[in-house]
Chain A
Amino acid sequence: MLAVKSLCGYYGQAQILNDVSLDAMQGEVVALIGRNGAGKSTTLKAVIGLEARRKGSVIFDGCEVIGKPTHEIVRMGLGYVPEERRIFSDLTVEENLAVGRRPPRPYTPQWTPETLYALFPNLAEARKRPGGRMSGGEQQMLTIARSLMGNPMMLMLDEPSEGLSPKIVEQMASAILRMKAEGLGIVVCEQNLHFAKLISDRAYIIEKGEIRYGGTMAELAADDEVRNTYLAV
């Protein structure tokens, strides 16, 4: 479904990503794990065409998307949820969802505000509240729900567990598993190995802009050496 090959990403003159290759299928959760500054967010931004300049190849749903503008890539069914959440703070929860609305596509899970309120019950209670007056956890739910309104085939989440309380992290994990159960493909950037283990089927480790490891999550969890080399702080 998503195949990234030899992706290089740049901010100005600086090369951030070096030959990143990874792939993800529909109905699976793939984690991209790495320390702060390893290039996780930049990988997602380069795939979606935001901010970073990019080279290489990104095939989504059988089409090359390098060179396409962001909104067209999103319309093809690749959703993106940024790390900073970027809620429209003056717009109500309902209006935030409305901005993400796109027509349904065949063979992909379809979402309406009502099904999303069922997935994230906290949002249902705050429909008319401005996005800026939500808690961090609620904003994280809103930003995911907003991207789901586009009825994507695949969703890229940038550190969805960051800064959330343990209880909300659990809710988030179960929401992601339910999205997966609906048939959505998910690529998730994480620093939190525990959270990644809860949700992911496969994992890649990225360091200094290069992919250092790829395998199933179970293999990674069992491999102390890889964990100590790339992830121990």
Chain B
Amino acid sequence: MEFLFSQFLTGLASASSLFLVASGLSIIFGVSRIVNFAHGSLYMLGAYIAYSLVEHSGLGGGNFWIALPVAALGVALLGLLLEVTLLRKIYHAPELLQLLATFGVVLVVQDAVLMIWGPEDLLGPRAPGLAGAVRLFHQAIPQYDLFLISLGPVVLALLWLLFHRTHWGTLVRAATHDRDMVAALGVNQASLFTGVFTLGALLAGLGGALQLPRGAVSHAMDLQIIVEVFVVVVIGGLGNVFGAFLAAIIIGELNAFGILVFPQMTLVLTFLAMAVILVVRPWGLRGKPQSLAHGAAVAGGRVLRRLPPAAGKAFLLVAVLLLALPWLGSGYALNVATEMAIYALFAASLHLLSGIGGMVSFGHAAYFGLGSYGAALAAKSLGLPMELALLAGPLTGALGALVYGWFCVRLSGVYLSMLTLAFAQITYAVAFQWSSLTGGDNGILGVWPSHWASGPVAFYYLTLVVCGGSILILRHIVFSPFGYTLRACRDSEIRADAIGIDARHHRWLAFILCGFFAGLAGGLFAFFKGSVFPDSASIGTSVDGLVMVLLGGIQTLTGPVVGAVIYTALRIFVSTYTDYWRAVIGVVIILLVVAFPQGIVAWTADRFQAWRAIRPAVKTKEKAA
């Protein structure tokens, strides 16, 4: 009993710091509608800056208590810079591109931290004055935990006062509800947004600095916390600070007690809780239904069209070049091209789900990973030949999508995206923790193709045929009645409903289909690499997919393929030149979002059309002359 009590307090202590970070994210989302992926990076910076202040300031004894506010203010300042230099330029870009840009920031900060503080985990000092423990019910409770536990409600109360007792707070609440109307009353949105973002960054930095006495500071902190914080914010209801507080307690306690019951499965527990809560309350505990339509997040007013016949010739040329590649390029080029083809299929399947179906998946790696493991296990554990094992890939992918999709199609907008992320994390956790089946961190090795396909040329052709064929099938689906139905549901669920379309049913089908093709790509990847690791189901892989789709442009069919090719090439190219390839890619992503908010292919198509529009005018002028 006493032990459970102390465990309960531990849960509350972690809930407090979780709440600090989550409330910041929630406030930012409420006003700017930006899902700030970089929030975890701000948290991590808070911890690192506090560490440096404590270790190198030479202030002596109580300097942690000085470092704490200074680090938080430093992060707030960085947040301010970030808002003014980057976010302000992309408030009118589609929601997803904003997300992508903030992910670019994540990559840059990761490498910056690596550069400044090095790769080792850093251990901070205990909090001066609170290093001891208090005995409560015969259990030693760290004083610092008690401090954290009391800090959570204090911050909640301060935020409440700020939002309900100051004019600025009233403006923020009004903007959370309807920001354009706030502008129509003469309020400068830009400075309001800057203020809100700075406040959110301050809370994230404070949360990070507070972690210093509790454990090591590491460069994995950012993604680790951001996933938990997403869960908290979504369970609590986006934009609702009190909801974030409740949800932080739920998650904190779930972690504290979950570790006693299922030590291997804490991650899974967290995400299952989220899935259950979201299915029962699709807007979170304290949230409100979003007014945002499905399509608004992705479409940006563009209509998907078939390409003109002239493009067919261009495609034929590309196809011939691809078939001739073994004679044109080296083995290395073949290797790269194989990888590109696999990612192109992965991106195309994500595009069908997100671009056509309007269901933006943050967790498409789940199906890629399931496919990889499905194929690898079929080959290694069941001893099936490659031809059959390759079939197991898409089947496991589709099966996963069948289950996950059933939950996801009940939600929409950002909530749906978060749930897909949650399922991908469950998949990742299972792959990571179920060592007896998946080999855990060590992965599954020795997944080799059949003899006939083992050479690079043969495997290249196999991949080219399978991926090229699948992409053509996906294209066919987009222009089939099923594709039109999906787009109708994306653009207006109510109108689709009114003409007798069961949107949920069609979306579920789309999920299964996309899971199938992502699984196929995953299966090929397993045989291509000869091994499978949990990485294939990680957030990184999911985001890679999103970057590819968005780089190319979500409202074109060639977009995801071009995006996959460019992104893969960029990654391979940059990583041969520098260890800090993440930062380079991050910067490239940010610049691309700022320069081409509609994606590269859409941008090119627009330029081409503009050029065509001018040309006939020139011709008629010539005739007249």
By a beta-carbon cutoff of 8 Å, the part of chain A in contact with chain B is 12, 48, 50-51, 69-71, 74-75, 80, 82, 86, 88-91, 95-96, 98-102, 146-147, 149-150
B167-209 interface (Cβ within 8 A of A): 167, 170-171, 173-174, 177-178, 180-189
Q: How many A-B residue pairs have CB under 8 A?
A: 60
Nearest chain A CB to B251 CB, angstrom units: 25
Nearest chain B CB to A99 CB, angstrom units: 4
A89/B186 contact (C-beta < 8 A), A95-B170, A98-B167, A99-B171 known? no
B181 touches A88 (CB 8 A): yes
A70 touches B184 (CB 8 A): yes
Q: Does any Cβ of A come within 8 Å of B301's Cβ? A: yes
A82 touches B181 (CB 8 A): yes
Count the B residues whose beta carbon is within 8 Å of the partner chain — how many? 18
Nearest chain A CB to B110 CB, angstrom units: 35
A147/B185 contact (C-beta < 8 A), A90-B173, A90-B177, A95-B170 known? yes
Contact of B177 among A80, A82, A91, A102 (CB under 8 A): A91
A91/B184 contact (C-beta < 8 A), A12-B301, A71-B189, A86-B178 known? no
Which residue of B has the minimal Cβ distance to A151?
Answer: B186
B180 touches A50 (CB 8 A): yes
A99 touches B180 (CB 8 A): no
B173 partner residues in chain A, CB cutoff 8 A: 88, 90-91, 95
Contact of B170 among A12, A50, A69, A99 (CB under 8 A): A99
B274-320 interface (Cβ within 8 A of A): 301
Which residue of A has the minimal Cβ distance to B169?
Answer: A95
B189 partner residues in chain A, CB cutoff 8 A: 71
A90 partner residues in chain B, CB cutoff 8 A: 173, 177
Nearest chain A CB to B265 CB, angstrom units: 39
A50/B174 contact (C-beta < 8 A), A12-B301, A98-B167 known? no
Which residue of B has the minimal Cβ distance to A86?
Answer: B181
A–B Cβ pairs within 8 angstroms, 12 of them: A12-B301, A50-B180, A70-B183, A71-B187, A71-B189, A74-B183, A74-B184, A88-B181, A91-B170, A91-B174, A95-B170, A101-B167
B183 partner residues in chain A, CB cutoff 8 A: 50, 69-71, 74
A98 touches B170 (CB 8 A): yes
Query: Given contacts A50-B183, A86-B178, could you give 15 more A-B pairs where the C-beta distance is less than 8 Å?
Result: A48-B184, A50-B180, A71-B183, A71-B188, A74-B183, A86-B181, A90-B173, A90-B177, A91-B173, A91-B174, A95-B170, A95-B174, A98-B170, A100-B186, A102-B186
Which residue of A has the minimal Cβ distance to B288?
Answer: A90
A96 partner residues in chain B, CB cutoff 8 A: 174
Which are the 4 A-B pairs with shortest beta-carbon distances?
Answer: A74-B186, A86-B181, A99-B174, A70-B183
Give the interface centre of A48, A100, A147, A150 by most chain B CB atoms within 10 Å.
A100
Q: How far is the CA of A100 from the CA of B184 in the complex (A)?
A: 9
Q: How far is the CA of A69 from the CA of B180 in the complex (A)?
A: 11
Q: How far is the CA of A12 from the CA of B177 in the complex (A)?
A: 25
Nearest chain A CB to B602 CB, angstrom units: 15
B181 touches A150 (CB 8 A): no
B170 partner residues in chain A, CB cutoff 8 A: 91, 95, 98-99
Q: How far is the CA of A180 from the CA of B301 in the complex (A)?
A: 41
B178 touches A50 (CB 8 A): no
Q: How far is the CA of A19 from the CA of B180 in the complex (A)?
A: 26
Nearest chain A CB to B159 CB, angstrom units: 15
Contact of B185 among A12, A69, A89, A100 (CB under 8 A): A100
Q: How far is the CA of A146 from the CA of B178 in the complex (A)?
A: 14
Q: How far is the CA of A95 from the CA of B170 in the complex (A)?
A: 7
Nearest chain B CB to A62 CB, angstrom units: 19
Give the interface centre of B167, B177, B189, B301 by most chain A CB atoms within 10 Å.
B177
B171 partner residues in chain A, CB cutoff 8 A: 99
Q: How far is the CA of A99 from the CA of B169 in the complex (A)?
A: 10
Give the interface centre of A69, A90, A99 by most chain B CB atoms within 10 Å.
A99
Give the interface centre of B173, B185, B187 by most chain A CB atoms within 10 Å.
B185
A48 partner residues in chain B, CB cutoff 8 A: 184
B301 touches A75 (CB 8 A): no
Q: How far is the CA of A150 from the CA of B181 in the complex (A)?
A: 13
B301 partner residues in chain A, CB cutoff 8 A: 12
A101 partner residues in chain B, CB cutoff 8 A: 167
Q: How far is the CA of A88 from the CA of B175 in the complex (A)?
A: 9
Q: How far is the CA of A165 from the CA of B184 in the complex (A)?
A: 27
A99 touches B184 (CB 8 A): no
Nearest chain B CB to A221 CB, angstrom units: 32
Nearest chain A CB to B88 CB, angstrom units: 12
Nearest chain A CB to B622 CB, angstrom units: 28
Which residue of A has the minimal Cβ distance to B177?
Answer: A88
Q: How far is the CA of A82 from the CA of B183 in the complex (A)?
A: 12
A80 partner residues in chain B, CB cutoff 8 A: 184
A150 partner residues in chain B, CB cutoff 8 A: 185-186
Nearest chain A CB to B452 CB, angstrom units: 54
Contact of B186 among A12, A71, A91 (CB under 8 A): A71
Contact of B187 among A50, A91, A95, A99 (CB under 8 A): A99
Q: How far is the CA of A128 from the CA of B233 in the complex (A)?
A: 29
A88 touches B186 (CB 8 A): no
Nearest chain B CB to A190 CB, angstrom units: 20
Q: How far is the CA of A70 from the CA of B182 in the complex (A)?
A: 10
A88/B184 contact (C-beta < 8 A), A71-B189, A95-B170, A99-B171 known? no
Q: How far is the CA of A137 from the CA of B345 in the complex (A)?
A: 56
Q: How far is the CA of A74 from the CA of B183 in the complex (A)?
A: 8
Nearest chain A CB to B388 CB, angstrom units: 51
Q: How far is the CA of A102 from the CA of B189 in the complex (A)?
A: 15
B186 partner residues in chain A, CB cutoff 8 A: 71, 74-75, 100, 102, 150
A50 touches B177 (CB 8 A): no
A74 partner residues in chain B, CB cutoff 8 A: 183-186
Nearest chain A CB to B248 CB, angstrom units: 22
Nearest chain B CB to A189 CB, angstrom units: 15
A95 partner residues in chain B, CB cutoff 8 A: 170, 173-174
A50 partner residues in chain B, CB cutoff 8 A: 180, 183-184
Nearest chain B CB to A154 CB, angstrom units: 13
Which residue of A has the minimal Cβ distance to B184?
Answer: A80
Which residue of B has the minimal Cβ distance to A51?
Answer: B180
B89-109 interface (Cβ within 8 A of A): none
Which residue of A has the minimal Cβ distance to B188?
Answer: A71
Q: How far is the CA of A86 from the CA of B180 in the complex (A)?
A: 10
B184 partner residues in chain A, CB cutoff 8 A: 48, 50, 70-71, 74, 80, 82
A91 partner residues in chain B, CB cutoff 8 A: 170, 173-174, 177
A146 touches B177 (CB 8 A): no
A102 partner residues in chain B, CB cutoff 8 A: 186
